[in-house]
């Protein structure tokens, strides 16, 4: 029972981290800057669309690892950073 609760808390923390990254992406996209680098925007949109597609599976089957990876990739592309170490963000 305790192990199950710990696992749920860990997953909730991962989801909050993913949500935080998504909010940063949203804020940056709406900051009023001219975003005209299609070679960067297309993969950002692709990664986010894949994450949303996975989350909206009609049977409720989704992979938090996959969603996490796609949002992390989109964030890194937008902010021109190396890939984010999600493990560090969780601690």
- The domain spans of the chain are 2-25+38-90
Quote the longest CA-to-CA distance of the chain. Answer: 51
The count of other CB atoms within 10 Å of the CB of residue 55 is 15
Q: What CA–CA distance (Å, rounded) separates 70 from 68? A: 6
H-helix segments, the chain? 2-29, 38-55, 64-78, 86-90
Check pLDDT > 90 for residue 81.
Answer: no
| pLDDT given for residue 46 in this prediction | 95
Q: What is the mean pLDDT of the chain?
A: 85
- Using CA atoms, how far residue 37 sits from 28, 42, 74, 83, in Å, is 14, 9, 14, 19
89: confidence class by pLDDT, cuts 50, 70, 90: very low
| pLDDT given for residue 84 in this prediction | 52
| pLDDT given for residue 80 in this prediction | 85
């Amino acid at each position: 029972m305790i192990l199950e609760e710990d696992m749920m808390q860990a997953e909730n923390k991962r989801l909050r981290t993913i949500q935080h990254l998504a909010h940063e992406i949203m804020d940056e996209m709406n900051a009023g800057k001219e975003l005209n680098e299609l070679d960067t925007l297309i993969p950002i949109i692709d990664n986010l669309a894949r994450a949303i597609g996975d989350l909206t599976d009609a049977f409720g089957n989704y992979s938090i690892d996959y969603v996490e990876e796609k949002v992390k990739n989109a964030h890194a592309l937008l902010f021109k950073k190396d890939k984010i170490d999600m493990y560090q963000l969780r601690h």
